[in-house]
């Protein structure tokens, strides 16, 4: 099956700093990538949808200036958490979809801890 990677798999940062998370589709071209966050014992919450070469579409309640998403190529999307605070600590998961399919392939996730 298709492979999606995320980097880093876990990160600890200090409050006020910014953190960048990368999501790569390794063996297919991802026209659309999705970013989710998941709090402990909860379901995945869609944050935003990004299409290659265009601005991301954010879900209601997600601050676009805080969670910067860039989808510059068909194999890479990045999520930057700016001025991170402890409440941003969460599990962030990306997924990618090829134009020929509506199945999503998930990355392994990134665990962010803000101290």
Partner 1 sequence: AQKITQTQPGMFVQEKEAVTLDCTYDTSDQSYGLFWYKQPSSGEMIFLIYQGSYDEQNATEGRYSLNFQKARKSANLVISASQLGDSAMYFCAMILNKFYFGSGTKLNVKP
CA separation for the pair 51, 102 (Å, rounded): 14
Q: Give min distance, CB of 115 to partner 1, in A.
A: 20
Which lies closer to partner 1 via its Cβ, residue 40 or residue 86? 40
Count of CA atoms in the C-beta half-sphere (13 A) of 53:
4
Identify the bridge partners of residue 32 per DSSP, sorted by sequence position. 51, 97
Candidates 85, 109, 86; CA nearest to 34 is: 109
Q: Which is nearer to partner 1, 19 or 93 (CB)?
A: 93
Q: Which residues bind partner 1 (CB under 8 A)?
A: 1, 34, 38, 42-44, 46, 49, 91, 93, 95, 102-106, 108-109, 111
Q: 42 or 115: whose CB is closer to partner 1?
A: 42
Q: Measured from the CB of residue 33, what is the shortest distance to partner 1 in angstroms?
A: 12
Radius of gyration for the alpha carbons in the chain, expressed in angstroms and rounded? 13
């Amino acid at each position: 099956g298709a492979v999606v990677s995320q980097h880093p798999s876990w990160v600890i940062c200090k409050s006020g700093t910014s953190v960048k998370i990368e999501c790569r589709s390794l063996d297919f071209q991802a026209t659309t990538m999705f970013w989710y966050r998941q709090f402990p014992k909860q379901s995945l919450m869609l944050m935003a949808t990004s299409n290659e070469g265009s601005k991301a579409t954010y879900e209601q309640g997600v601050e676009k200036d805080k969670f910067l998403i860039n989808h510059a190529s068909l194999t890479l999307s990045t999520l930057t958490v700016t001025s991170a605070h402890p409440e941003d600590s969460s599990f962030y998961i990306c997924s990618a979809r090829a134009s020929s399919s509506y199945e999503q392939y998930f990355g392994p996730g990134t665990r962010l801890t803000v101290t």
